Amino acid sequence: MDFKRFVSIHKFWMISILVGSIIAINHFVDGVLLVNYDINGIPGNAYISWIGGSFFYSQSHWFYFTLPLLGSVAVGLDYGILKRRKYFDQYKIRMTKEHYIATLGIKVFLLGFSAIVIPLTLNFVLTMMERPLLYPDPLVAIGPQSDELGTTLYYLHPMIYTSIYICFDGIFAGAIALITVELCAIIENCYMATIVPFAISYILYTVGGLFVDSCFTLDRLLMPVYGAKSVIEYVAAVVFIVFSIVTWMGLGLKEEL
């Protein structure tokens, strides 16, 4: 597939990556490149200075707040447009239904995954180029607190913790991408279907704002600096991911994806 055709098919995926990368680069310039210390006056290192390492920066808030939107836009609008143009019909006649559903599902998942992982990785790599990889210090109260899961891993092996969290965010975005396309298959208006995951996320965010320590908001679960305080939160995330895959296969075999 030549580049011109790839761009024409995946326009909104590229827009999602562009928007996420702009937020990531803006954070790097504003919070890393132009300052030698973090917001608390502590000499910065890569683990507490990157976009997922501190909730004090506005860019961190906006990236994780819009993560569901970036993941859904990356596939929803492109899929809706291509479906109206009957783009997928040529593949349906060349493959068995099971093969087609599996292949399309993997593609959709990877598009959502990469729309989040690329900007996060870009920001972390840029931060590593400017800040040293010193181990974070639990005494400065930046990073997961003692009552959050993964605290020991973060302070002993921060690179492993950070890598796992970047992949976790990408997997969650991939699940959102699958759900978005499923909604596009059910709801005729692809624009409305694409906005549904973000609308649900915003409702949870609003409800979570009513409580001092809420597990409703996705940014609390997806931002490494927060971490989860209960294994139930991660179980719920895994259930959502598994649900997206199971419903994809079930809907794909019954409906026209």
Alpha helices in the chain (DSSP H): 3-9, 11-27, 46-49, 58-84, 89-92, 97-130, 151-156, 158-186, 190-208, 218-222, 231-254
| Confidence (pLDDT) at 2 | 57
| Confidence (pLDDT) at 69 | 92
Under 8 Å between Cβ of 124 and 162: yes
Q: So where are the chain's domains?
A: 3-254
Tell me the per-residue pLDDT of 138-151, one tens digit each, with 9 for 90 and over.
Answer: 776 677 777 777 78
What is the distance between the alpha carbons of residues 141 and 15, in angstroms, rounded to a whole number? 36
For the segment 199-227, the average pLDDT, to the nearest whole number, is 74
Residue 209: band (very low, low, confident or very high) from pLDDT cuts 50, 70, 90 = low
Residue 190: band (very low, low, confident or very high) from pLDDT cuts 50, 70, 90 = confident
| Confidence (pLDDT) at 71 | 92
Residue 250: band (very low, low, confident or very high) from pLDDT cuts 50, 70, 90 = confident
DSSP characters for 117-157? HHHHHHHHHHHHHHS--PPP-GGGT-SS-TTSTTHHHHHH-
| Confidence (pLDDT) at 23 | 96
Q: Which of 16-30, 111-125, 203-217 has the lowest mean pLDDT?
A: 203-217
Tell me the per-residue pLDDT of 161-178, one tens digit each, with 9 for 90 and over.
Answer: 999 999 999 999 999 999
For the segment 233-245, the average pLDDT, to the nearest whole number, is 88
Residue 1 in tokens: 């597939």
- Highest mean pLDDT among 54-68, 134-148, 155-169, 209-223 belongs to 155-169
Residue 112: band (very low, low, confident or very high) from pLDDT cuts 50, 70, 90 = very high
| Confidence (pLDDT) at 225 | 83
What is the distance between the alpha carbons of residues 118 and 178, in angstroms, rounded to a whole number? 18
Under 8 Å between Cβ of 113 and 171: yes
| Confidence (pLDDT) at 158 | 92
Task: Report whether pLDDT(63) > 90.
Answer: yes
What is the distance between the alpha carbons of residues 51 and 54, in angstroms, rounded to a whole number? 7
State the pTM of this model.
0.88
